[in-house]
Structure 1
């Protein structure tokens, strides 16, 4: 397939009047921006087919990482630094917001934006269906599951972490713990064997990185005492890798 021409086709379907850049990087950013701001709504089959082909090709080109190739840090727990949208695993966990429709800010650097971008518009439509049936905003600490669409992960588990405006309160600790518990319970409900967590709430929601990692590791270790779910802590920043390496070197 020709990525340049496919991007041109998709951009024209999203906005027939917009001027299309000749530079491939700028063309991709324009397509991504249009997808990011697109409200939920079904697209014609020809668009969906072309988008699916494009996103699956991009995933292959950036190099997929198979969960089974990761090295276990301790029983049932793995640490991996990299792009979560390139991880081939049963499920990845998305740090969603309470609207649970993905990030609408064009090309924003949050994980919610990346997951929705590389999954394709089908993911936002699926989330919109869940929210329409639910009839209210997603509660902090709860979790929902969708297909992974064009991601290498089979499923995406969406959870809403606590937002920290000042000092972390006990209710915030409980809410973050609930994010991990809800997500793992949902994964086991769907009989999944593996799940990858991002660093929930530590980005735009401002939960302190080290404390968030402590809660994550403690919660997963406790949960695994009565389950067989394999958990990957996915980090992107060197800081978070160093924090988790330190915590996973400790034994309770």
Structure 2
């Protein structure tokens, strides 16, 4: 059933451009899905036939169920309102997940790229890019570093996506980089609170492709979240993908260091 839906999606996407006409459907499901992901990754934001959306939504829903849904009870609770989870953020059934976006806020256009921006846009469906494009069209300029925007989550298990643009580190880490990253976490938390969201899952903002050192990024994240939770009630999940980050966050969140000492590092 899923493969039949996928074939229909591919046939529609391949029909959109003349240069795609010579592309043949691969034989295996995995190869077909890779082609599907590539096509939606490079597709510009524009309206699409409601019939396509109906098929897409059914397919992505089934794909999500196949991967498995993760809730708070499946995560490791390390503090009163803080959880740690290692795995795919697109599986999390929380009020909002955080996307490490770029300044254009349209998602990653590199086919099958391994970044979180690519994964979130892929599994949310193409309406997410369209909503982001509308936001940016109204705004009229690139998204500033350290701020946050909210969109629907579409076909993801979460209700919303909170998008933030973190600092890119070229060369030496500076105090400005640290302040910008702290601003990302504060902006996301405040926006979530203002929208009455009760649970937020953070990715490791600015690490990886943006080259922010993992240890320092985690220290800033933990410090800002702990400070925020002193005066606001919310469930916060630190979602990591690499073993290195899981080790760092586990150590920081179970450490006896005073919160103020952590906060001073940001």
2:43 pairs with 1:24: no
Match of 1:77 in 2: 82
**Whole-angstrom distance in 1 between the partners of 2:116 and 2:160:** 15
**Whole-angstrom distance in 2 between the partners of 1:193 and 1:69:** 17
Q: For each residue in 1:232-252, what CA deviation from the matched residue of structure 2 results, as whole angstroms up to 9, or x when unmatched?
A: 000010000000011011132
Match of 2:211 in 1: 206
5+ residue gaps, structure 2:
16-20, 259-266
5+ residue gaps, structure 1:
none
**Offset at 1:67?**
2.0
Match of 2:170 in 1: 165
Q: For each residue in 1:158-178, what CA deviation from the matched residue of structure 2 results, as whole angstroms up to 9, or x when unmatched?
A: 000000001111110000000
Instruction: For 1:94-113, list aligned pairs within 5 A.
Output: 94-113=99-118
**Whole-angstrom distance in 2 between the partners of 1:145 and 1:66:** 21
Match of 2:261 in 1: none
Equivalent residues, number: 251
**Offset at 1:47?**
0.2
2:4 pairs with 1:5: yes
**Whole-angstrom distance in 1 between the partners of 2:97 and 2:179:** 21
Match of 1:225 in 2: 230
Match of 1:196 among 162, 179, 201: 201
**Whole-angstrom distance in 2 between the partners of 1:44 and 1:190:** 31
2:214 pairs with 1:215: no
Match of 1:185 among 174, 182, 190: 190
Instruction: For 1:122-137, list aligned pairs within 5 A.
Output: 122-137=127-142
**Offset at 1:5?**
1.5
**Whole-angstrom distance in 2 between the partners of 1:67 and 1:154:** 14
TM-score (normalizing by structure 2): 0.93
TM-score (normalizing by structure 1): 0.98
SS at 1:79 equivalent: strand
Match of 1:90 in 2: 95
Where do 4+ consecutive residues of structure 1 move more than 3 Å? none
Match of 1:156 in 2: 161
Q: For each residue in 1:4-41, what CA deviation from the matched residue of structure 2 results, as whole angstroms up to 9, or x when unmatched?
A: 11111111111122311111111000000000000000
**Offset at 1:71?**
3.4
2:240 pairs with 1:235: yes
Match of 1:35 in 2: 40
**Offset at 1:211?**
0.4
Match of 2:251 in 1: 246
Output the aligned Cα RMSD: 0.8
2:61 pairs with 1:56: yes
Q: For each residue in 1:74-111, what CA deviation from the matched residue of structure 2 results, as whole angstroms up to 9, or x when unmatched?
A: 12111111100001000000000000000000000000
**Whole-angstrom distance in 2 between the partners of 1:208 and 1:108:** 21
